[in-house]
Amino acid sequence: MEFMFWLQTLFIYDNPVNDSFPTVGIIGAGQLARMSIAPAEALGINLLLLAQDAQDSGAQIANHIVGDYRDLTTVLNFAKKCDVITFEHELIPLSIIKTLEAQGVVVRPSSEAFIYSQDKAEMRIKLANFPSPHSSVVTSASEIKNYPCIAKAISGGYDGRGVWKVSSKLELDEIISQVGRVLVEDLVDFDYEIAVMVARSPHGQATTWAPTQTIQRDGICTMTITPAPQLSAELSERAQKLALDIAQAIGVVGVMAVELFVKGSELYVNELAMRPHNSGHWTIEGSVTSQFEQHLRAVLDLPLGDPSMTAPIAVMGNILGSEKADMYRPYLHLMARNPRLKFHHYKKEARKGRKIGHVNLLGDDIVELTQEIQHALDYMSGEVNE
C-alpha cells in the first residue's frame, strides 16, 4: 500500500492533469525569480523561467527553459507555454515585448510602461511633471556648462554601472566617446536615499510598503532600513503618494521600485525598476505580503495583499562576494549569536562585490538591528572572525 501511494504521488506531481492554476512565465532566472518560487508554490501557481543557463540562481530549483531572451523565436516559443509573461530584469529588447503583445500574449508590465525602466531619457520625459533633477540628453560635452554633474548611460546601467560623477568637460567627453549619447543630470546634494515599493494590478488596485532607506557603498546597496528612520511621517506619506501617482501615470502592472533622493523636505525621483527590487527584500519576513507574492498577485490580477510590517523595524543586509569562499560555516557563529537572523542565499558564484545573498533581521531597536546585520555581513565576508 505504501509503495502504491508513492507511485500515485509521483505520477500526479509529474503530470498535473486538469490543473486550473495559471502559469506565470518569468524572463530571467536570477535571484529575483528564485525568491518568487516559494510564494508561487504556496499559491499553487505554476512558474516557468526563461534562463540564460541551467545554473542560474532560479533555474537551479524551478522549471525552466534555457534560451536567449534576445532571440524572438525563443521568447515566442517560451510564451506559448505561459498564461502571462513578466520579467526579473530590464534587458529584454522592447521590440520583442511589442511583438509578444501583437501576438496576443499577456505581458505585465506592458511595453508602454516597461520602456521607462529601460530608457532613462524616456523616463525623464514621462516624469517631467514629477520632482526630478534637471536633465538633458547630450552627444557632446560642449552642451554642458555646469560641473560637477551626473552622467548616465541611457540604457543597461544598474548597481552603480553606467552612472558617473563627472567633474570636467574632458571626463564627459571620454564617457560620450565610449557610450555615445548620455543623460546628464544636475548633481543633487541629497541627505539620503530612499525607495518606495509600489504594486498595481490591471484593474488599478494599488498599494505601497513603508519607505525604505537605502545605504550605498561604491554604487551598490549594502543595507536597507525600513521604515526610513530619518523620514518624517509627513514626508513618508508624500513619498508613498508620489510612488502611487507615478505607477498610475505610466500604467505599470506588477511591483515597481521608485528610487528617490531626499534633501531636507524635498523629494527627487532618481530611477524606476519595474520588478521586485533589492530594496524590497526585507518584505520576505518583514511584511504580511512580500514583494514577490505581491508581484504574482498583481500580474495575475488577483486582489493585492496586506503590505503592513510584521515588526516595527526591518533591516536587510546584502551579502557581497569576497575572497572568503565558504558561505556555510559562518552560520555556526551567526545563528548561535542571534537566532532571529534570516538568511537568503542565491547559490551564485561568489565574485568580489557581487550580491550573492541577503540577511534580514526584525525588531524594535534600530541600533541593535543595524549592528547585528553589519556584524553578519562582516563575518561572512571575512572582515571579522569573532
Residues 154-209 have pLDDT tens digits of 987 666 678 999 999 999 999 999 988 999 999 999 999 999 999 999 999 999 99
Q: Check if the beta carbon of residue 259 is closer than 8 Å to that of residue 270.
A: yes
Domain annotation covers residue 345: yes
| CA gap 308, 321 in Å, rounded | 32
Do 35 and 178 fall within a single domain? no
Do 166 and 216 fall within a single domain? no
For the chain, what percent of residues have pLDDT higher than 90? Answer: 86
Do 248 and 157 fall within a single domain? no
What is the end-to-end Cα distance of the chain in Å, rounded?
53
Do 284 and 313 fall within a single domain? yes
Do 261 and 328 fall within a single domain? yes
Hey, is 73 helix, strand or coil? helix
In this structure, the strands spanning 64-66 and 46-51 are parallel
Cell (9 digits) for 144: 554642458
Single out the residue of 120, 127, 72 nearest to residue 100, CA to CA.
72
| CA gap 175, 331 in Å, rounded | 43
Do 44 and 142 fall within a single domain? no
Task: Count how many domains the chain has.
Answer: 3
Q: Check if the beta carbon of residue 321 is closer than 8 Å to that of residue 350.
A: yes
Contacts of 300 (CB under 8 A, 6+ apart): 22, 24, 45, 84
Do 223 and 247 fall within a single domain? yes
Domain annotation covers residue 296: yes
Do 178 and 212 fall within a single domain? no
Hey, is 296 helix, strand or coil? helix
User: What are the residues facing 313 on neighbouring strands?
Assistant: 363
CB burial of 298-310 (b: ≥16 within 10 Å; e: otherwise) equals bbbebebbebebe
Report the CATH number that the domain containing residue 39 is assigned in CATH: 3.40.50.20
Domain annotation covers residue 127: no
Hey, is 117 helix, strand or coil? helix
pLDDT digits (tens, 9 = 90+) for 50-78: 999 999 999 999 999 999 999 999 999 99
Hey, is 185 helix, strand or coil? strand
| CA gap 166, 149 in Å, rounded | 5
Do 227 and 308 fall within a single domain? yes
Domain annotation covers residue 43: yes
Q: How many CA atoms lie within 13 A of 207 on its CB side?
A: 16
Indicate the residue type of 347.
K
Kindly state the DSSP code that residue 82 receives in the 8-state scheme.
Answer: -
Cell (9 digits) for 292: 514577490
| CA gap 118, 96 in Å, rounded | 13
pLDDT digits (tens, 9 = 90+) for 8-22: 333 333 434 456 999
Average pLDDT of the chain, as a whole number: 93
pLDDT digits (tens, 9 = 90+) for 88-115: 999 999 999 999 999 999 999 999 999 9
Domain that holds residue 76: 2-107
CB burial of 22-42 (b: ≥16 within 10 Å; e: otherwise) equals bbbbbbbbbbbbbbbbebbee
**Section 252-277 average pLDDT:** 97
C-alpha 30, offset from chain centre: 11
Do 316 and 345 fall within a single domain? yes
Q: How confident is the model at residue 253 (pLDDT cuts 50, 70, 90)?
A: very high
**What is residue 158's predicted lDDT score, i.e. its pLDDT?**
65
Domain annotation covers residue 129: no
**What is residue 155's predicted lDDT score, i.e. its pLDDT?**
87
Do 92 and 139 fall within a single domain? no
Q: Which helix (H) or strand (E) holds 173?
A: helix 169-179
Choose one of 186, 201, 216: the last residue of a domain: 186
Q: How far is CA 162 from CA 209, 252, 318, 331, in A?
A: 28, 24, 21, 35
Report the CATH number that the domain containing residue 373 is assigned in CATH: 3.30.470.20
State yes or no: pLDDT of 271 exceeds 50.
yes
Choose one of 160, 186, 212: the last residue of a domain: 186
Q: How confident is the model at residue 353 (pLDDT cuts 50, 70, 90)?
A: confident
Do 168 and 283 fall within a single domain? no
Choose one of 107, 142, 157: the last residue of a domain: 107
Q: Residue 324 burial by CB count (10 A; 0-12/13-18/19+): exposed, middle or buried? A: middle
Domain annotation covers residue 121: no
Work out the angle at residue 172's Cα, subtended by the Cα atoms of residues 168 and 175, and round it to the nearest 5 degrees.
145
Domain annotation covers residue 350: yes
Hey, is 91 helix, strand or coil? coil
Q: Check if the beta carbon of residue 108 is closer than 8 Å to that of residue 85.
A: yes
